[in-house]
Structure 1
Amino acid sequence: MCGLAGLLRPTPDLDEATLAALAAAMGDALAHRGPDDRGVWADAEAGVALAHRRLSILDLSPFGHQPMASEDRRYVVVYNGEIYNFAELREVLVARGHAFRGHSDTEVLLAAVMEWGVEEAIARCNGMFALALWDRRERCLWLARDRVGKKPLYYGWAGEAFVFASELKALWRHPAFDNPVNLDALALLLRLDYVPAPHSIHQRCFKLLPGALLRVDAAAVARGAGGHDPARDQRRYWEPRARMAAALAQPFRGDVREAEARLDALLREAVALRMVADVPVGVFLSGGTDSSVVTALMQAQSPRPVRSFTIGFERSHHDEAHLAREVAEHLRTEHTELYVSGADALAVVPTLPAMFDEPFADASQVPTALVARLARSAVTVALSGDGGDELFFGYKRYERALRNWRWLRRLPSPLRRALARAAAGQGEASRAGGFAALAAEMGARGIGDVYRQRVLRWRDPQAAIPGAGLPETFYDLPDPLGGQGTPADAMMLADFSVYLPEDLLCKVDRTSMAVSLEARAPLLDWRVAEFAWSLPLAFKRHPGGNKHLLKRVLRRYLPDPMVDRGKRGFGAPVSAWLRGDLREWAAALLDQTRLREEGYFDPGLVHAAWRLFLDGERKWHTHLWNVLMFQAWHEHWRACRRAPGGSADRA
């Protein structure tokens, strides 16, 4: 696990030392992602430079150093992540005449590109990764990201230079990067709690989509391509909607026992591949189905007790450490739990802007940061259970949306249209649920319109952000599957395409990499995902409890009482924080004079939400948290711009 950065200039007007120094400064902003080694490569004639920070996981020797050149010297790569099937690829490549100096997956990746070309080589990789690869012969740069979007990759423009990096803080180090806030992206933040790809919080700056490739030709940069359209130029080599549609067209034909055996085998292999490392490996264990499955399969394949880690909360209904402890005792893992106080959790909040570098408002980022820090005290790699809910119908909101959709379809169309007109323009009134929330769904054209109401924060963020537009996302599709599959499949696809990579995986990546910990998610092996999509809904949604097939697999390793108990989720008591220890902090960030001077938000509307919250009206804390996360981020960003060298780490 590592950090990468680099730049491609429109004209080769800098000497090699200056170019390398620019890239090195960008790379050094990512030292937390790779504390073990640093490297830089520059080609002054081409105006390109690549920088790398390394967290050594495989091949701890100098043979794993990056930037790394291919055997024929045509390609140079900086790469963040792991290719889990690298040993299998290496065998094929050796048989085709390739020789290897070390045993890193980076060297295998370069040989694969030599053998099959960039696109086919990436498609053959099973892993989590983001990479930048310079082709010296074609004078072009390739950017690529893994299928699901576990590893991040930003790119855009700093003045006339094309720049790219694992995190925004590296782009901030470029002296010409002064890109203002993207108001449309800010509207998306208020709507979803995060900024989804391909957008970013900065203008002229984008995120590479999961499963996408981007080719950037030096000639195009020289012509000046600052108006680049990311949706047009990114190419998907793996796209969830197409893959789900293909899986639904060839459904699994066996019975539930055969499906259970197949899923167990797929998960065993996925877990085994992710246990390969030259450093200590552990697991995040919450006690829920997903993390328990991963822990059980790790322990079943390990000759020694697996290291498991859990965070508990003192005097909190969010505490589930006892559930994890019971699972750990049954599986006989080497378990570590840490109980934290409210003060411990609140101490994380001021670090969030520097940790995420883009405003991010899923408050479970706080406990996730705490468990990552705990795990890093003993291991360098930790497996997680991310992906189970999106693949196996795990969220309660899916049931609520299906209930509402069934009810709406029974109403006569004229009545629905009349109620939809009556509900129009109510803005944030539907946020509290009840009839107002249902009325907002009256005009639904499909399950996507109903489900969107389950995942939105601000219903009308443009009212709070003068001058903002609202780009469409996958959640704006009336039927995400375009008529294929069931409404349940469509909702799971929407979450897999947006919520999973942009919220859950982003949260795990930033909190783990902040402490130089690599997190791996075996449930998100692409083969597991495509198998899950091929299953009948009855294997997931079941009267005896959802995630039915995943729980059948878990019953092979745990007794029924540990499998069947409910789970509340990994949350944070934001409302109590804002009424308690964080009240003064929040009041300062939401001050009307400050909001008016900064000019991003309508100060009257935001202040009214703050007053309603303090007066006890429910649910406003979720609206306020994403405003506060932007305000805290903006304060951090301004401090970074003022700091010598623009360093995010010194701010």
Structure 2
Amino acid sequence: MAQPRLHGDVLAARAREMGGALVHRGPDDAGTWVDAQAGIALAHQRLSILDLSPLGHQPMESADGRYVLAYNGEVYNFAPLRAALAAVGHRFRGHSDTEVLLAAVAEWGIEDALQRCNGMFAIALWDRRERCLWLARDRVGKKPLYYGWAGDALVFGSELKALWRHPDFDNGVDRDALALLLRFNYIPAPYCIHERAFKLMPGSLLRLDAAAAAGAAAHDPQRAQQRWWDPRERMRKAIATPFVGGDGEAAAALDAVLRDAVGLRMVADVPVGVFLSGGTDSSTVAALMQAQSAEPVRSFTIGFRGSDHDEAPLAREVADYLGTAHTEFEVDGADALAVVPQLPAMFDEPFADASQIPTAMVSRLARQEVTVVLSGDGGDELFFGYGRYQRALRNWRMARTLPRLLRHGLARLPGARGESARTGGVATLLAESGVQGIGDVYRNRVSRWRNPAAVVTGAREPQTIYHEADPLGLPGREAEAMMLADFMAYLPDDLLCKVDRTSMAVGLEARAPLLDWRVVELAWSLPQHMKLRGDTSKYLLKRVLRGYLPDAMVDRPKRGFGAPVGQWLRGDLEQWAGDLLHPADMRREGLFDADRMSAIWRDFRGGQRKWHTHLWNVLMFQAWHRHWRDCRGL
């Protein structure tokens, strides 16, 4: 928090209160640091993973006294960094990666230090000499970082609930961001559900001094943030310098870097486990963990009773073959009903990926035995794993047979933007044919609401990478363009957000070895035929996995980690949903077209199978909005 003109005791008290809101993220220790003259206060809640002693306490000052650091995450390659720093004269009191990170900044400067780090992190760094605050986030966006304004105070934290604790944080709903929620089920960075609040984008830095904090730059999330690692630039460079070698050489290279990435993430002074669904990604991580462990790795999965979403038998089969110490947990609609009321407080920002429910449950299960868990996140975005990629390429090839002027005309027809495009028929054909690039096709594939601003009162939908006709800007690279869009938005703001909030809600740290930057850039350098070979997606990753599992366990159709939302909304969750969608309440709140929402709810209950995808994000917002109003006493 940065707020000039406050007495030091008041600054410290506010920082402690804001930090206390995040005790679930760090239940093992707490600390605050204040410079009243500069008007800056830092608070930290610690989840002890490395160096469990008090020598890892944060906020931590650098040895020369120039820098003060509060950071969330892990620097996995801290050992070689520590050795390099010791070689040029740095001395260390403890064994934490925090102390190494501070020394790295002191030696090389913040941007160079970040370039040398392999890890996941959100950083607040105060430079006492330059009197400026640096906010930074890891390359992929594993760890979250919000910042914004509470009156005239700049506030920041890992979750919005910390910002809420400031007495002047009274920021209302950003209706434009609400439109993004309806389209995607999440709000992409840098946007946030609150006015005058933002997310720091992955791989970005934000420098704030007194002049910047008072100026317009701090209020403009696009202009103020600078990339220290740019995925679009890195992908283009990887494509320009492709991997040289055949399938065997590529599989060996991928196996080696994955094995090292997994091994780095197994380093901890606390118990470590793995989320195991039985699919390619999590099975690869589990296999590489077990190959490097002298003891059975603890693995965890969740299944749904009486549902085709149940992956528990597949995970059990993989666990038995690898010899992991496996635990599974089965849930049904009643279990989901018990979790749903907790979601607004868990996520702070409205979030509508329904797999948040099983992820919350499996996190709670794993925390009973371990403090760190590895996951398979990232495999689909790196190795062409989603079926929607293939469908989008097919539709783009079809659309390109139409003259450009005709496509322009089709794009303007009312049916091309209507919500009936979700249910098939002529509207779907219009939506897919009136496109100007692969980005337009793919946006239709990933959108829930096709025209969300039409039902959010007063909204103008902001532009995102999904609104670009060609997100990558390289002709003939449509597959890579879609994967880039997902890597920059869906991955950090949906998948990684989901895992971070549900795991940290119970004090569990989740690590994703497939998102090691070395794995990422190797994947980007691979030719497309090593990702999609005939009808086999993730071809090379599966080839690696065949070295650890039999073919029968590798060659299984993708299921995904979903949840039977439609079934639940017609069953255990129907009364909860009906209450949140009550027309009188929606009219009074004035955020949605209440009549349109009532019609969709009525149609869904009457058998329209597709509408649950529209309804879930509205319901998640309504539940969040009530929670927010309750927190503020409104």
- The corresponding residue for 1:161 is 153
The one-letter amino acid paired with 1:171 is L
Query: In the alignment, which residue of structure 1 is the partner of 2:181?
Result: 189
Match of 1:245 among 236, 246, 251: 236
Q: Which residue of 1 aligns with 2:289?
A: 298
2:69 counterpart letter in structure 1: V
Q: Which moved more, 1:300-309 or 1:572-581?
A: 572-581
Instruction: Name the residue aligned to 1:48.
Output: 40
Correspondence 1:64 to 2:46 = no
C-alpha separation in 2, matches of 1:339 and 1:190 = 30
| Percent of aligned pairs with the same amino acid | 70
SS at match of 1:441: helix
Give the residue type in structure 2 aligned to 1:32.
H
**Partner residue, 1:374:** 365
Distance 1:389 1:122 in 2: 26
Q: Does 1:599 align with 2:590?
A: yes
Give the Cα separation in 2 of the matches to 1:202 and 1:412.
Answer: 42
By how many angstroms is 1:587 displaced?
1.0
1:8 aligns with 2:2: yes
Question: SS at the partner of 2:294?
Answer: coil
Q: 1:277: how far off?
A: 0.2
1:630 equivalenced with 2:621 (yes/no):
yes
Report if the CA contact (8 A) 2:333-2:573 is conserved: no
CA distance in 1 between counterparts of 2:35 and 2:472 reads 46
Q: Which amino acid aligns with 1:329?
A: D
Residue 219 of structure 1 and its aligned partner are, at CA, apart by 3.6
> Which of 340, 351, 368 pairs up with 1:360?
351
- Cα distance in structure 1, aligned partners of 2:611 and 2:306: 24
Return the offset for 1:418.
4.8
Q: Does 1:20 align with 2:12?
A: yes
- Displacement of 1:581 after TM fit? 1.5
Where do 5+ consecutive residues of structure 1 fail to align?
1-6, 644-651
- Alpha-carbon offset, residue 441 of structure 1: 2.2
Q: In the TM superposition, what whole-angstrom CA distance separates every residue of 1:621-651 from its partner, at most 9, and x where no partner exists?
A: 11111111110000000111129xxxxxxxx
State how far apart, in whole Å, the 2-side matches of 1:426 and 1:180 are. Answer: 28
* Structure 1 position 265, deviation (Å): 0.2
Question: What is the 5 A alignment of 1:511-550?
Answer: 511-550=502-541
Q: Aligned letter for 2:225? A: Q
1:232 aligns with 2:201: no
Aligned to 2:381: 390
Secondary structure class of the residue paired with 2:190:
coil
Name the SS for the 1:344 alignment partner: helix
Matching of residue 337 in structure 1 with residue 331 in structure 2: no
The runs of at least 4 consecutive aligned structure 1 residues that moved more than 6 Å come to none
* Partner AA of 1:353 in structure 2: P
Partner of 1:120: 112
CA distance in 2, matches of 1:203, 1:412: 42
2:218, 2:224 within 8 Å by CA — same for their partners in 1?
Answer: no
Question: Kindly tell me: are residues 638 and 490 of structure 1, through their superposed partners in 2, closer, same or farther at Cα, counting changes over 3 Å?
Answer: same
Mark the runs of 5 or more structure 2 residues left unpaired by the alignment.
none
Distance 1:418 1:173, change over 3 A: closer
Instruction: Return the alpha-carbon distance in structure 2 between the equivalents of residues 358 and 412 of structure 1.
Output: 43
Equivalent residue in structure 1 for 2:123, among 121, 124, 131: 131
Match of 2:66 in 1: 74
TM-aligned CA deviation for residue 340 of structure 1: 2.1
Deviations 1:38-88 (A, max 9, x none): 000101111100000000000000000000000001100000000011001
Deviation by residue 1:389-439 (Cα, 9 ceiling, x = unmatched): 000000000111011111112234455445444455652110113442121
SS at 2:219's partner residue?
coil
Partners of 1:287 and 1:346 in 2: how far apart? 26
CA contact (8 A) 1:357 1:633 kept: yes
* SS of match in other structure, 1:241: helix
What's the counterpart of residue 439 of structure 1? 430
- Residue in 2 that maps onto 1:618: 609
The residue type equivalent to 1:33 in the other structure is R
TM-score (norm 1): 0.96
Cα RMSD, aligned residues only: 1.3
Q: Is 1:571 aligned to 2:571, yes or no?
A: no
- Preserved contact between residue 398 and residue 488 of structure 1 (Cα < 8 Å): yes
Q: SS where residue 474 of structure 2 aligns?
A: coil
CA distance, structure 2, for counterparts of residue 45 and residue 415 of structure 1: 64
Q: C-alpha distance in 1, partners of 2:342/2:247?
A: 47
Matched, 1:561 2:555: no
Deviates more, 1:634-643 or 1:22-31: 634-643
Distance 1:485 1:382, change over 3 A: farther
Structure 1 residue aligned with 2:90, among 91, 94, 98?
Answer: 98
The two structures have a TM-score, normalised by structure 2, of: 0.98
Residues 276, 315 of structure 2: 8 Å contact kept: yes
Instruction: Give the superposition deviation at 1:109.
Output: 0.3
Counterpart for residue 193 of structure 2: 201
In structure 2, distance between residues paired with 1:494 and 1:433: 25
Offset at residue 14 of structure 1 (A) = 2.0
CA contact (8 A) 1:90 1:108 kept: yes
Offset of residue 220 of structure 1: 3.3
Residues 42 and 50 of structure 1 are in contact (CA less than 8 Å); yes or no, is this contact kept in structure 2?
yes
Pair 425,319 (structure 1): closer, same or farther in 2 beyond 3 Å:
closer
- Count how many residue pairs are aligned between Structure 1 and Structure 2: 634
Taking a change above 3 Å as real, the CA distance of residues 248 and 414 of structure 1, as seen in their structure-2 partners, is: same
Change (3 A) 1:544 1:408: closer
Q: In structure 2, what is the Cα distance between the partners aligned to 1:523 and 1:299? A: 16
Cα distance change, pair 75–595 in 1 and its aligned pair in 2 (3 A): same
Q: Distance in 2 between matches of 1:226 and 1:252?
A: 40
1:646 corresponds in structure 2 to none
CA distance in 1, matches of 2:116, 2:507: 27
Distance in 2 (alpha carbons) for counterparts of 1:422 and 1:597: 33
Equivalent residues of 1:147, 1:238 under 8 A apart: yes
Instruction: Note if contact 1:184-1:469 (Cα within 8 Å) is conserved in structure 2.
Output: yes
CA 461–642 in structure 1, closer or farther in 2 if over 3 Å, else same: same
* The 10-residue stretch of structure 1 (76-85 or 401-410) with the greater mean CA deviation from structure 2: 401-410
Closer/same/farther in 2, CA of residues 421 and 162 from structure 1, 3 Å limit: closer
**Counterparts of 1:451 and 1:601, CA distance in 2:** 26
Corresponding residue for residue 327 of structure 1: 318
2:402 corresponds to which of 411, 417, 424: 411
Deviations 1:94-147 (A, max 9, x none): 000000000000000000011001111111111000010000010000000000
Partner of 1:3: none
Q: Write the distance in 1 (CA, Å) between the matches of 2:540 and 2:407.
A: 37
Of 247, 250, 256, 1:259 maps to 250
Q: How far did 1:567 drift?
A: 2.5
Relative distance call for 1:99 and 1:58 in structure 2 (3 A) is same
